[in-house]
């Protein structure tokens, strides 16, 4: 580490990405600090506390490969259980002392002369200070910045308004008239619980969602015991889930026809719970399954079929003090309005005010359709690494696999930089266009781009800028053996 930097590595965010990166830095003997704007670690699993919140990827795969957990209580863990797992990892790997909570990155500016980043950090008491960092890893996640619908008059509504990602744990729906906007993954999980408690629930649906049955057994004690005593058994279970999930990528990227059988199963699942043909018609998607993230629930359709639940497909045109009005002229009286309206995926990067070489800003580059190399490095931003950046999300399996592959790449690039006595490593701008073109070509026939829906996976021009259009195994292989010729190493450490 050069004497002119405060920390070898600044990690922004403390979800799976940030914690995983910190554990790797600790292992490699790097001096690092994690900046976390909230008052606890956990990222999305700290923030998303709406009733029913759980992960739709099996827990034995949605966890670090180096820290298998025999104690998962069921196939699909709840957000609380995942948050507990991350808290456990922080303690076990001794990361806690390097975490600065309530520390918000306000600005990051690259200093070419120094080969380092000036990071301005805002504190809870309104002050700010600077850190000079030898490298910065952004583990800020994409599902971060809630999208709030632009409904005229919403501010005048006198009832409670809550986004699913900023849930008030003390809130109760018992006896209330509740409205929920959105029918994405978060809504599918929350709606059965809201329906159970509310006096009446109105679901404002813009686009119906594909819902499959959920096979979510609780793990019996003997199995937990077996996983604890025979870790190889647990590893075999993880490998089996990984392989089974990986096979699904073919359907998403090349052969959407393979989703026909699953679509039939989803429709049968709906028919078994919803007897009213008019309601079934409202709930039947007109786009290819998988175009939006597929959801799983055994309680969603039964909840929508209840007498005290209404599915409203007329769009909301305005709000007032007592509720909302839909395009058909109906006024819906509400006590609570839940916004299950998703996230602005570029928002988390915007707030960081990142300025790289030659005045490049991440915000402007993003607006222009950000070009990255495997979602990790960005031309014109040396010593900056993104975890779960553009085109590295997944629709078919666990993103923790992608995070681990990316952390491995970051460690390799930093080692290569240090080994050369250089101060900076950056992707060569000339290798990126061909990579992006390949991504575009591969995305063209994926179900996300060609499936007949709009989603947060696509940019304004309808291009996939969110998901990796291939298998995880391919991505892991590519990142495990990076071609160092694709990167430039500059500057010399002042020793
Ligand atoms: P989402 O998938 O973006 O869904 C947002 C919903 O709100 C959609 O139904 C959307 O309708 C609707 N909506 C948005 N703005 C609206 C407006 N102005 N008026 C009416 N409706 C509006 O958001 P999400 O459900 O929070 O899920 C986001 C992502 O989080 C998922 O894709 C997934 O990756 C992740 N997630 C994962 C899990 C898990 O189990 N791993 C659970 C929850 C969430 P349209 O469809 O018409 O746009």
How confident is the model at residue 143, as a pLDDT?
Answer: 79
Question: Using a 6 Å CB cutoff, which residues line ligand 1?
Answer: 54-57, 143, 147, 149, 164, 181-187, 206-207, 293, 340-343, 456
Tokens read off for 433: 């266009």
- Strand, coil or helix: what is 31? coil
User: For residue 42, is it within any domain?
Assistant: yes
User: For residue 385, is it within any domain?
Assistant: yes
Instruction: Report the nearest-CA residue for atom 34 of ligand 1.
Output: 293
Question: Residue 338 Cα, ligand 1 centroid: separation in angstroms?
Answer: 12
* C-beta separation of 43 from 55 below 8 A: no
Q: Which residues contact 309 (CB under 8 A, 6 or more apart)?
A: 195, 200, 201, 202, 203, 303
* C-alpha torsion angle, residues 468, 471, 475, 481 (rounded to 10): -160
**Candidate from 182, 208, 211 with most ligand 1 atoms within 8 A of CB, to mutate:** 182
Instruction: Report the nearest-CA residue for atom 26 of ligand 1.
Output: 342
Kindly state whether residues 162 and 310 are assigned to the same domain: yes
Question: Residue 182 Cα, ligand 1 centroid: separation in angstroms?
Answer: 6
In ligand 1, which atom is closest to the CA atom of 57?
41
User: For residue 421, is it within any domain?
Assistant: yes
Kindly state whether residues 322 and 388 are assigned to the same domain: no
Chain mean position to CA 326: 31
Kindly state whether residues 17 and 79 are assigned to the same domain: yes
Instruction: Measure the CA–CA gap between 365 and 379, rounded to whole angstroms.
Output: 10
In ligand 1, which atom is closest to the CA atom of 149?
18
Structural domains of the chain, count:
2
From 285, 314, 339, give the residue that closes a domain: 339
* C-beta separation of 273 from 191 below 8 A: no
Whose CA is closest to 252, among 450, 476, 475?
A: 450
Kindly state whether residues 303 and 167 are assigned to the same domain: yes
Q: State the alpha helices, DSSP H only, in 257-368.
A: 260-273, 277-283, 300-304, 347-350, 362-367
Question: Residue 305 Cα, ligand 1 centroid: separation in angstroms?
Answer: 21
Whose CA is closest to 30, among 294, 494, 463, 415?
A: 415
User: For residue 182, is it within any domain?
Assistant: yes
Instruction: Measure the CA–CA gap between 297 and 180, rounded to whole angstroms.
Output: 17
**Which residue segment(s) compose the domain that 198 sits in?**
154-209+252-339
User: For residue 1, is it within any domain?
Assistant: no
Kindly state whether residues 335 and 354 are assigned to the same domain: no
Kindly state whether residues 182 and 298 are assigned to the same domain: yes
In ligand 1, which atom is closest to the CA atom of 48?
43
Kindly state whether residues 439 and 472 are assigned to the same domain: yes
Question: Residue 343 Cα, ligand 1 centroid: separation in angstroms?
Answer: 7
Question: Residue 341 Cα, ligand 1 centroid: separation in angstroms?
Answer: 5
Q: What is the block-wise mean pLDDT of the chain (495 residues), using blocks of 10 residues?
A: 84 98 96 96 92 96 98 97 98 97 97 96 96 97 87 97 92 96 98 98 98 96 97 97 94 88 96 98 97 97 98 98 98 98 82 95 86 97 96 95 98 97 97 96 94 91 93 97 97 74
Question: Residue 58 Cα, ligand 1 centroid: separation in angstroms?
Answer: 20
Whose CA is closest to 411, among 26, 67, 72?
A: 26
Kindly state whether residues 68 and 169 are assigned to the same domain: no
From 286, 312, 339, give the residue that closes a domain: 339
Q: State the alpha helices, DSSP H only, in 37-184.
A: 44-47, 79-92
In ligand 1, which atom is closest to the CA atom of 56?
40
How confident is the model at residue 3, as a pLDDT?
Answer: 62
Q: What CATH number corresponds to the domain at position 197?
A: 3.50.50.60
Instruction: Report the nearest-CA residue for atom 28 of ligand 1.
Output: 342
- Strand, coil or helix: what is 223? helix
Kindly state whether residues 195 and 323 are assigned to the same domain: yes
Instruction: Report the nearest-CA residue for atom 18 of ligand 1.
Output: 149
Q: State the alpha helices, DSSP H only, in 284-427.
A: 300-304, 347-350, 362-367, 399-419
Instruction: Report the nearest-CA residue for atom 15 of ligand 1.
Output: 341
Provide the terminal-to-terminal Cα distance of the chain, rounded to the nearest Å. Answer: 9
**Candidate from 75, 146, 152, 186 with most ligand 1 atoms within 8 A of CB, to mutate:** 186
How confident is the model at residue 193, as a pLDDT?
Answer: 97
User: For residue 160, is it within any domain?
Assistant: yes
Kindly state whether residues 45 and 74 are assigned to the same domain: yes
Residues 50, 188, 398: CA angle, nearest 5 degrees: 85
User: For residue 247, is it within any domain?
Assistant: no
**Candidate from 15, 55, 341, 447 with most ligand 1 atoms within 8 A of CB, to mutate:** 341
* Model pLDDT for residues 280-334, shown as the tens digit of each residue: 999 999 999 999 999 999 999 999 999 999 999 999 999 999 999 999 999 999 9
Question: Residue 455 Cα, ligand 1 centroid: separation in angstroms?
Answer: 8
Kindly state whether residues 308 and 368 are assigned to the same domain: no
Question: Residue 183 Cα, ligand 1 centroid: separation in angstroms?
Answer: 7
Question: Residue 292 Cα, ligand 1 centroid: separation in angstroms?
Answer: 9
Whose CA is closest to 357, among 389, 335, 386, 379?
A: 379
How confident is the model at residue 205, as a pLDDT?
Answer: 98
From 339, 357, 375, give the residue that closes a domain: 339
In ligand 1, which atom is closest to the CA atom of 188?
25
Instruction: Report the nearest-CA residue for atom 32 of ligand 1.
Output: 293
Question: Residue 186 Cα, ligand 1 centroid: separation in angstroms?
Answer: 6
pTM of the entire structure?
0.96
User: For residue 240, is it within any domain?
Assistant: no
Instruction: Report the nearest-CA residue for atom 10 of ligand 1.
Output: 182
Kindly state whether residues 332 and 413 are assigned to the same domain: no
Place of tokens 């070509």: 441
């Amino acid at each position: 580490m050069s004497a002119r930097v405060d920390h070898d590595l600044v990690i922004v965010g403390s979800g799976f990405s940030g914690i995983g990166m910190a554990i790797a830095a600790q292992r490699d003997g790097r001096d690092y600090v994690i900046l976390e704007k909230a008052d606890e670690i956990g990222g999305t699993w700290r923030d998303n506390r709406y009733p029913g919140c759980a992960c739709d990827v099996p827990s034995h795969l949605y966890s670090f490969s180096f820290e298998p957990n025999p104690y998962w209580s069921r196939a699909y863990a709840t957000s609380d259980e995942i948050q507990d797992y991350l808290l456990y990892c922080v303690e076990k790997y001794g990361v806690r002392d390097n975490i600065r909570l309530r520390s918000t990155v306000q600005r990051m500016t690259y200093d070419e002369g120094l080969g380092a980043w000036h990071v301005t950090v805002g504190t809870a008491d309104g002050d700010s200070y600077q850190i000079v960092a030898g490298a910065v890893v952004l583990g800020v996640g994409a599902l971060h910045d809630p999208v709030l619908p632009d409904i005229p008059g919403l501010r005048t509504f006198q009832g409670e308004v809550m986004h699913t990602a900023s849930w008030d744990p003390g809130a109760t729906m018992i006896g209330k008239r509740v409205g929920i906007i959105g029918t994405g993954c978060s809504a599918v999980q929350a709606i059965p619980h809201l329906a159970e408690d509310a006096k009446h629930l109105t679901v404002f649906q813009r686009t119906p969602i594909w819902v499959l049955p959920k096979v979510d057994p609780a793990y019996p004690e003997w199995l937990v015991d077996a996983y604890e005593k025979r870790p190889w058994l647990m590893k075999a279970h993880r490998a089996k889930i990984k392989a089974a999930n990986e096979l699904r990528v073919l359907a998403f990227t090349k052969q959407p026809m393979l989703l026909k059988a699953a679509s039939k199963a989803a429709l049968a699942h709906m028919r078994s719970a919803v007897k009213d043909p008019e309601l079934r018609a409202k709930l039947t998607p007109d786009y290819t399954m998988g175009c939006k993230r597929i959801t799983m629930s055994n309680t969603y359709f039964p909840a929508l079929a209840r007498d005290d639940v209404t599915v409203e497909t007329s769009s909301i045109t305005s709000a007032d003090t007592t509720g909302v009005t839909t395009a058909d002229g109906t006024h819906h009286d509400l006590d609570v309005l839940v916004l299950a309206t998703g996230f602005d995926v570029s928002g988390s990067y915007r707030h960081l005010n990142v300025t790289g070489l030659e005045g490049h800003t991440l915000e402007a580059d993003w607006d222009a359709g950000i070009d990255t190399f495997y979602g990790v490095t960005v031309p014109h931003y040396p010593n900056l690494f993104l975890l779960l950046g553009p085109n590295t999300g997944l629709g078919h399996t666990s993103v923790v696999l992608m995070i681990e592959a990316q952390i491995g790449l970051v460690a390799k690039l930093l080692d290569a930089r240090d080994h050369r006595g250089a101060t900076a490593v950056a992707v060569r701008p000339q290798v990126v266009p061909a990579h992006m073109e390949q991504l575009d070509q591969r995305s063209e026939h994926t179900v996300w781009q060609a499936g007949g829906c709009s989603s947060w996976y696509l940019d304004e021009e309808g291009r996939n800028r969110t998901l990796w259009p291939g298998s995880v195994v391919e991505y892991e292989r590519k990142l495990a053996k990076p071609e160092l010729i694709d990167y430039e190493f500059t500057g010399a450490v002042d020793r």
